[in-house]
Amino acid sequence: MQPSPIVSTLALAVTLAALLGGCSKEPAPAPAPKAQEVGVVTLQPTTVNLSQDLPGRTSAYRVAEVRPQVDGIVLKRLFREGSDIKAGQQLYQIDPATYEATLANVQASLEQHRSLTTRYRQLIDEQAVSKQEFDNARAQQLQAEAQVRSAQINLRYTQVMAPISGRIGRSAVTEGALVANGQATALATIQQLDPIYVDVTQSSADMLKLRRALDAGQLQTLGGTKAKVNLTLEDGRTYPQQGTLEFSEVSVDPSTGSVTLRAVFPNPDRLLLPGMFVHAQIPTGTAQDAILAPQAGVTRDLKGHSTALVVGADNKVELRELTANRTLGTQLLVENGLKAGDKVIVEGLQFVKPGAEVVAHEVKQTLVSDATAPDAKAE
């Protein structure tokens, strides 16, 4: 039996109404994105002792080249090469025979002139000799005395003595060698190694800053105005003794625009030898209320500027451009762009962008309070 047209029409109307009712419902809202967790470091002001790391070389405190002062044959060498010697210690013996004979000869001449002067002094009162003859005899006696002193000096110079205390190098002559007064070649060289000099080079601009810091009393001192200096050896080890800054050269090298600074270091163990390459850490002042940012939270943009992501008060990420002129270990000394209380993101940087909302948790780190800082630009 076929359904009536009325029933079919009603069924169609009910179906259309159901379809229209379903289309009028709004879709369910999408769930809100979860806030990214990041690790931050809250910046705190601190006091930092700053210094410059300057290259340099060691040099002996005193150097003496031993040369003969008389001519002759070397009979003996009286020291061990490379040993420590004392001032006044005999180093060589030159054949003294000719100088002993010369001394004996002038001593005999002196006795003769002395006897003549004595006799003339007795006779002048009796007017047996003239005053002129007595004066001539007296002058000849004085000349003979001078010749004796000269001969004694030359005889003493046959014993070649050490002029200073220190470590002596290798000998340039052996027994039997002929040496001469004023020769160009030194017999040996003595170097005083304790204390020892460290000569470092510094640009003239940095030297002016250092001078102002010394005058202002910003540098640590060891008596007077001498700044403390630390030393790093060629193998990276820190030298155990601390030195003092002595002086700077009075002129600037026109080829390099630098000056030489000289520091003095104790060297009791002779660990430092002349000519060694070292690095000296010279203090330049103390930065009060300094802001140190961890390098892990600092990146560079396409223009090469240092930037950092900071969590703001509303937990939104902010981009900051920094000016940092020194690197202190794993941290940067910030001049502009960050302040005390800023929360710098150091973990999760790759997952966040400026404007994103985040959940921050504090990351522990050790602040630098006393550091050696080379003048490395980190802008």
End-to-end CA distance of the chain: 93
* SS3 track for 235-258: CCCECCCCEEEEEECCCCECCCCE
What local confidence, expressed as pLDDT, does residue 276 receive? 95
What local confidence, expressed as pLDDT, does residue 1 receive? 46
Is 17 a member of any domain? no
Is 79 a member of any domain? yes
Is 206 a member of any domain? yes
Q: Which residue has the higher pLDDT, 163 or 290?
A: 163
Q: Which residues are 259's β-sheet partners? A: 202
Q: Which residue has the tokens 């930092």?
A: 48
Count of structural domains, the chain: 4
Q: Among residues 253, 286, 319, which one ends one of the domains?
A: 286
Per DSSP, 34 falls in state P
CATH of the domain at 233: 2.40.30.170
What local confidence, expressed as pLDDT, does residue 225 receive? 56
Closest alpha carbon to 138 in 153, 121, 156: 121
Q: Among residues 249, 265, 286, which one ends one of the domains?
A: 286
**Antiparallel, parallel or unpaired: β 343-347 and 36-42:** antiparallel
> Residue 263 in contact with residue 229, Cβ under 8 Å?
yes
Identify whether residues 57 and 200 lie together within a single domain: yes
What local confidence, expressed as pLDDT, does residue 7 receive? 45
Identify whether residues 270 and 247 lie together within a single domain: yes
Identify whether residues 57 and 199 lie together within a single domain: yes
DSSP structure string for 193-220? EEEEEEEEEEEHHHHHHHHHHHHTT-S-
**How far apart (Å, rounded) are the C-alpha atoms in residues 139 and 196?**
51
Closest alpha carbon to 106 in 137, 152, 70: 152
Residue 368 predicted with pLDDT over 60: no
Closest alpha carbon to 44 in 306, 287, 314, 343: 343
Q: Which residues are 232's β-sheet partners? A: 238, 279
Q: Which residue has the higher pLDDT, 334 or 176?
A: 176
Residue 224 predicted with pLDDT over 60: no
> Residue 374 in contact with residue 280, Cβ under 8 Å?
no
CATH of the domain at 44: 2.40.420.20
Identify whether residues 279 and 214 lie together within a single domain: yes
Is 29 a member of any domain? no
Domain span at 138: 96-157
DSSP structure string for 118-182? HHHHHHHHTTSS-HHHHHHHHHHHHHHHHHHHHHHHHHHHTEEEPSS-EEE---S--TT-EE-TT
Exposure string over 287-311, b if 16+ CB within 10 A, otherwise e: beebbbbbbbbbeeeeeeebbbbbb
> What's the pTM?
0.67
pLDDT in tens, 282-333: 877 777 778 888 988 888 888 888 899 999 888 899 999 988 877 887 888 8
Is 14 a member of any domain? no
Long-range contacts of 183-188 (CB under 8 A, 24+ apart): 183/67, 183/68, 186/65, 186/66, 186/67, 187/66, 187/67, 187/68, 187/91, 187/92, 187/160, 188/65, 188/66, 188/79, 188/81, 188/91
Identify whether residues 172 and 251 lie together within a single domain: no
CATH of the domain at 83: 2.40.50.100
CATH of the domain at 138: 1.10.287.470
pLDDT in tens, 4-51: 554 455 455 555 555 545 544 555 565 556 778 889 999 988 888 777
**How far apart (Å, rounded) are the C-alpha atoms in residues 94 and 70?**
8
What local confidence, expressed as pLDDT, does residue 8 receive? 52
**Residues sharing a CB contact under 8 Å with residue 342, sequence separation 6 or more, in sequence order:** 42, 43, 310, 320
**How far apart (Å, rounded) are the C-alpha atoms in residues 365 and 359?**
19
**Sign of the CA dihedral 181, 185, 186, 188?**
negative
Is 5 a member of any domain? no
Q: Which residue has the tokens 């960050």?
A: 338
Interior angle at CA 299, CA 295 and CA 300, nearest 5: 135
Identify whether residues 280 and 293 lie together within a single domain: no
**Sign of the CA dihedral 363, 368, 374, 377?**
positive
Identify whether residues 134 and 146 lie together within a single domain: yes
Residue 373 predicted with pLDDT over 60: no
Average pLDDT over every residue of 335-346: 89
Identify whether residues 311 and 324 lie together within a single domain: yes
Residue 375 predicted with pLDDT over 70: no
Is 180 a member of any domain? yes
Identify whether residues 44 and 56 lie together within a single domain: no
Identify whether residues 341 and 263 lie together within a single domain: no
pLDDT in tens, 87-133: 999 999 999 999 999 999 999 999 999 999 888 888 877 777 788 88
Identify whether residues 181 and 245 lie together within a single domain: no
Identify whether residues 102 and 56 lie together within a single domain: no
**How far apart (Å, rounded) are the C-alpha atoms in residues 313 and 75?**
90
Is 43 a member of any domain? yes
